[in-house]
A and B are shown apart, each in its own frame.
Chain A
Amino acid sequence: MSRRKTKDEKLYLASQWRLMWWKFLDHRLAVFSCCVLILLYVVAVFCEFVAPCEPNKRAKERSFAPPQTIHILHEGHIHWPFVYGQTQHRDPETLRLYYSPDTERRIPVRFFVKGDPYKLWGLIPMERHLFGLGRVETVNDNGETITTVTRFNLMGCDRLGRDLFSRIIYGSRVSLSIGLVGVFFSLVLGVVIGGISGYYGGRLDILIQRFIEVLRSFPQIPLWMSFSAAMPATWSQLTVYFFMTVILAFITWTSLAQVVRGKILSLREEDYAMAARVAGRKEFSILMRHLMPGFLSHIIVSVTLQIPGMIIAETSLSFLKLGLRPPTISWGVLLQDAQSVSAIRLYPWLMWPIAFVIVAVLMFNFMGDGLRDAADPYSH
């Protein structure tokens, strides 16, 4: 009985944000998705370390090499996870390279191995990778020692023999961040314009609302296509990246603006807003100090639910060669290789980036769902 009471008391005394946090924790799937997303973003941040290979390192002899599966069973015995070496031979007629696993050669997969040298965040020179097959030192005829990194292609290689898994990991940095940056622009635009619309009301409000309606009747992809076509080919990778985020935000801000406007309109009629007005507070400070906390959680929810759309949009546009372009690595750019039926029939592993897109989008949707329920902590 007494325990029950303290629990109730805790519930009454808890702040709004604490209630939301509790409610979010109740939503198991959302918490799980949140963890997966954190993992994905950590991988994106440390992509140089996580990727087993240098993403732009070409290897002619590994052109379209199929994925190397990780095994633990060899001739009926359990081993430390290992991969089989691959032997290749060329079809004399079609000149196509064929690879077959060489079950004689077992190469163990190790953690924290030395591999291709890289610079973490372009600054810290490092050699160790999260996992890989390590390096082999051989002495050649002239007596010099040559170190060769044993290539590990978890998800196969592309035409130039570049490791697809490493490229996907590097691509996650661009593909996952573009949603965040895009949403940031959309947030700024949405809050400012929606705020003005709801705050001033009247003719300005009607004008802004009509404009938003017009923007929303544009089909997004064709509109984005037109914008992308306007990008000069001479732009640097970074400029293209920022331009992409801006055009992604160009339509999406409208829904945020509508959320903000609607919330301001309904909250300014609340008693506490009236009380503040009677107490002599300025309208603007009422808006910032008293109304803002009331709709902040709804903004967070809308923002979270916009990120997956942006990831899909970036991937789709880059896939159509209308967005980011090589040498930038993003999931959409990687999928450009998978455009023809013949390519995906011969090398189905080129479709791997799709799995990453789907997982990222799915996790954002689940998390957004959980946040939406949590944003209204008093509903139960």
Chain B
Amino acid sequence: MIGYIIRRVLLMIPTLFVISVITFIIIQLPPGDYLTTYIANLQETGEEADEALVESLRVRYGLDKPFYEQYFIWMRGMLLRGDLGQSFSMNNKPVTELIGERVALTVVVTFFAIVFTWIVAIPIGIYSATHQYKVSDYFISVLGFIGMATPEFSLALLVMYFSSEMFGVSVGGLFSDAYIDAPWSWARVGDLLVHIWVPVVILGVAGTAGMIRTMRANLLDQLEMPYVVTARAKGVSETRLLVKYPVRVAINPMISTIGWMLPALFSGSAIVAMVLGLPMIGPLLLRALMEQDMYLAGSLVMIMSVLTVIGTLISDILLAWVDPRIRLERQRS
């Protein structure tokens, strides 16, 4: 098992390298750089950009260097000092300082979305499978399909609309006004927990719908197995029979879904955060991209990808840990 984990971690290195290169290329794609945007902004307000100042800024940001050198500077800072570069548009603040809390909140929201998905999807999936072709099963299926078909942003819009129309509550934000800029305290955490469920539910819906389908299909496969018939013939009670064997087997493959859920959740969280105005990665990335704030945008894309890779690793390890078949197969080979 440890050998397997080590091998997987080592395999991550080339993956992350390629990801960083692609990210950097994409960030560099827009014509011009931050300074051209900067000059254009100045000209819009009627000011003339000082040639010498622009030139000195270019040297200071390293924008005069060739492409690959800029990449190495970025990588070196990141690997050696955990320094993600500086943001051009926000007073040269270090990127790490700007994004720390936002990344943390994104991870928290995503984590809760996964927990929500599991807690909701598995019981409903079991119910749906044991009531196959009943009215309730059809109802759940239809609801699930609609959930999968609704884009996150429109769900966010609908939630915003109905909560303000019916309950008179505005759902934007992750904190009450009093806590937005407050330092972390237990009260602030409590405030976060009061607000967090809205984005968590919106994010979780699509995944939940998909997972109910998978859980239902997996369990239906198991329920046909001879061992279920045997257990029933031996007089095991239905509930015990269900929970003890088929459900456990049916849940196993679901663990691997965490791997592909993560990119979808990060994508979704970016959109939901922009619609609801949450202090998460999405809105900051949008702004950084618009202003060609290269290191900020690059770091955000990079962080999301790294989190995805790590998430996939965790789900693979969990899978091997939970499922003896996979574990044994790896030991043999």
Contact = CB atoms under 8 A, between A and B. Distances in A.
B11 to A, nearest CB: 9
Given A220-B263, A225-B286, A335-B154, A214 B22 contact: yes
Interface in A361-376: 361-362, 365-366
B150 A345 contact: no
B198 interface: no
Contacts of B201: none
B170 A221 contact: no
A212 B262 CA distance: 16
B100 interface: no
A105 interface: no
B153 to A, nearest CB: 5
A240 to B, nearest CB: 14
B116 to A, nearest CB: 19
A222 B298 CA distance: 10
Nearest to B152: A316
A232 interface: yes
Contacts of A215: 22
B37 to A, nearest CB: 11
Interface stretch (A57-65, A111-119, A350-358): A350-358
25 contacts: A211-B18, A214-B19, A217-B263, A217-B309, A217-B312, A219-B264, A222-B270, A222-B281, A222-B282, A225-B289, A226-B297, A226-B301, A229-B297, A232-B30, A232-B31, A316-B152, A316-B153, A320-B274, A339-B275, A341-B160, A344-B157, A344-B160, A345-B161, A361-B149, A362-B146
Interface residues of B, number: 53
A273 interface: no
Contact of A229 (B30, B153, B158, B264): B30
Contacts of B27: 226
Interface string A214-255: 111111111101110110100000000000000000000000
Given A219-B263, A220-B267, 16 more contacts: A214-B22, A217-B19, A217-B309, A218-B301, A219-B267, A220-B264, A222-B267, A222-B270, A227-B26, A229-B289, A320-B153, A322-B286, A341-B160, A344-B157, A344-B160, A361-B151
B285 A225 contact: yes
Contacts of A172: none
A222 B266 contact: yes
Interface in A283-340: 308, 312, 315-316, 319-320, 322, 335, 338-339
Most chain B CB inside 10 Å of its own CB: which residue of A222, A358, A362: A222
Contacts of B160: 341, 344
Interface residues of A, number: 41
Most chain A CB inside 10 Å of its own CB: which residue of B153, B275, B282: B153
Given A218-B19, A221-B270, A365 B148 contact: yes
Contacts of B285: 222, 225
A365 B267 CA distance: 20
A219 B266 contact: yes
Contact of B26 (A210, A220, A226, A358): A226
B165 interface: yes
B301 A223 contact: yes
B305 A218 contact: yes
Contacts of A354: 150-151, 154, 157-158
Contacts of A225: 270, 285-286, 289
